[in-house]
Amino acid sequence: MGSAGEALPPPASETRPWDNYSQAKLSTVALAPKGRRAASDAPAGGEGGWSGQDEKPAADDDWLPINARRNAKWWYAAFHNVTAMVGAGVLTLPYAMSELGWGVGVTVLVLSWVITVYTLWQMVEMHECVPGKRFDRYHELGQHAFGEKLGLWIVVPQQLVVEVGLNIVYMITGGQSLQKFHDMVCHGRCRRIKLPYFIMVFASVHFVLSQLPDFHSISSVSLAAAVMSVGYSAIAWTASAAQGKAAEAEADYSLRATTTPGKVFGFLGALGDVAFTYAGHNVVLEIQATIPSTPGKPSKKPMWKGVIVAYVVIVACYLPVVLVGYWAFGNGVDENILITLNRPRWLIAAANMMVVVHVVGSYQVYAMPVFDMIETVLVRKYWFTPGFRLRLIARTVYVALTMFVAITFPFFSELLSFFGGFAYAPTSYFLPCIMWLIIYKPRRFSLSWFTNWICIVIGVLLMVLSPIGGLRQMILKIKTYKFYQDYSGLSHN
């Protein structure tokens, strides 16, 4: 007992070294379910309100897929960005040109490239806009710009639409490319197999690859995908050049539609198709999170070097495919240029298999941030334990769901313009500009202020107009579609 003039020491249970609590630990404590305590509060031996090592949440977020390891080099950023950007959407660009025409089509493509380079640079710069803090995820930057709650509501729904939507599209594209490869190799000698079975084959690969724990572990898959994207793009434009040169009649370069409403809807839909091809902004912060950063060597320098290389590769893939493909076939080009090409047979079959390998990598790159969100919620909200068991259950269910939607609605890939307007346009074209204005507050009427507002106006117009064309295409497809039919033949009738 102390004397009356002495202060009593606090009970032993109340003395806790708060200095040992990292920000991640405190957030875990704050997110603990009601009626439970944080892992650090559990008495030794597992006694108390809850017990057992399996029930304790992670002490920090180093286990999460995005920031598990930060030892990537600039070339990792390069091929991750190539894999994310140069998707199978490049094969639809000649079709978009047939709805836009030469002048408008080239202008839209080049303008989109310039705007998205600028907004991607902004994302790279804002990754560490607060000294000593890294915004490893798109929604974290959104929370910093718009506030904790509003930032989540603005960014997360759009990001999920892009990433989950692309995963479904890549499921369909992978299945269609496998089917095309099978048909070209068999050349009528084999029994025809319906598209849903090829989607299942493609999905079976992801049931295995999705268990890779983090971004760094899919680097080899992403590198192979980036190489394949360059390969099938080269095949697409070289084969188009050879076939166009050998054609007896000149291609027709008039707009695909013949009626005024058809031209208008086709124009709007093509804008969405172009927006879809620049959807890589949704994972750029997550890619940058894998690069180490110090005050003397911030991550933005190697990241920007990787982005520059990636955008050079994008130009080398996009422009030849668009210009040569449209030159060769005009308004007779199919929605996928590889379908228009039919010789040499072995080369087109190889290109389709390259597409399969590429979308395998693209699926994983876009799925990793989704896995990160799912596992964060399961661990911090519902007290799951990080580890293989969590990955096995959560990621298997996610892959199964995307496979089911792809099999049930294989015309999902026809809706790229619809989703391109609602989600791809904001996250790639103008949302970074809005956050830049809020965070850096450039002087009114300065060059930076004008540039950002021009991008915002163009992006908003794209967001409003392009879904109109996509909605029309959706209505036309639904009218003639029956569930689980062999859709690959339907879409080209």
> pLDDT tens, position by position, for the chain (493 residues)?
444 444 444 444 333 333 343 444 433 333 333 333 333 333 343 333 333 333 333 445 666 767 666 777 888 888 888 888 776 678 888 888 888 888 888 898 889 889 999 999 999 999 988 888 888 888 899 999 999 899 999 998 888 888 898 899 889 889 988 988 888 888 777 788 888 899 999 999 999 999 988 877 888 888 898 889 888 888 888 888 888 776 656 777 888 877 888 888 888 888 877 877 777 788 888 888 888 888 888 888 999 998 999 888 888 888 898 999 889 888 888 877 877 776 678 888 888 899 899 999 999 988 998 998 898 888 888 878 878 888 899 999 999 999 999 888 776 556 566 666 677 788 888 899 999 999 999 999 899 999 999 999 998 988 888 777 777 777 776 666 666 666 554 433 3
Q: Is residue 181, in this structure, part of any structural domain at all?
A: yes
Q: Is residue 11, in this structure, part of any structural domain at all?
A: no
Residue 283 lies in domain: 63-490
Helices H / strands E in the chain, number of each:
19, 0
Q: Is residue 421, in this structure, part of any structural domain at all?
A: yes
* CATH classification at residue 360: 1.20.1740.10
Structure confidence at residue 193 (pLDDT)? 84
Nearest CA-CA partner of 393 in 380, 408, 405, 378: 378
Q: Is residue 29, in this structure, part of any structural domain at all?
A: no
Q: Residue 431 is inside which H or E element, if any?
A: helix 431-440
CB-CB contact of 159 with 427 (8 Å): yes
DSSP SS3 for 451: helix
Structure confidence at residue 247 (pLDDT)? 64
Structure confidence at residue 420 (pLDDT)? 61
Cis bond upstream, residue 344 (ω within 30): yes
Beta carbons within 8 Å of 20's beta carbon, 6+ residues apart: none
Q: Is residue 465, in this structure, part of any structural domain at all?
A: yes
Structure confidence at residue 340 (pLDDT)? 77
Q: Residue 137 is inside which H or E element, if any?
A: none
Tokens for 397, please give them. 């269910």
Q: Is residue 4, in this structure, part of any structural domain at all?
A: no
| Domains of the chain: total | 1
**What separation, in Å, do the N-terminal and C-terminal C-alpha atoms of the chain show?**
92
Q: How many Å apart are CA 246 and CA 455, to the nearest integer?
A: 42
Q: How many Å apart are CA 276 and CA 92, to the nearest integer?
A: 10
CB-CB contact of 331 with 97 (8 Å): no
Amino acid at 365: V
Q: Is residue 7, in this structure, part of any structural domain at all?
A: no
Q: Is residue 57, in this structure, part of any structural domain at all?
A: no
Structure confidence at residue 58 (pLDDT)? 40
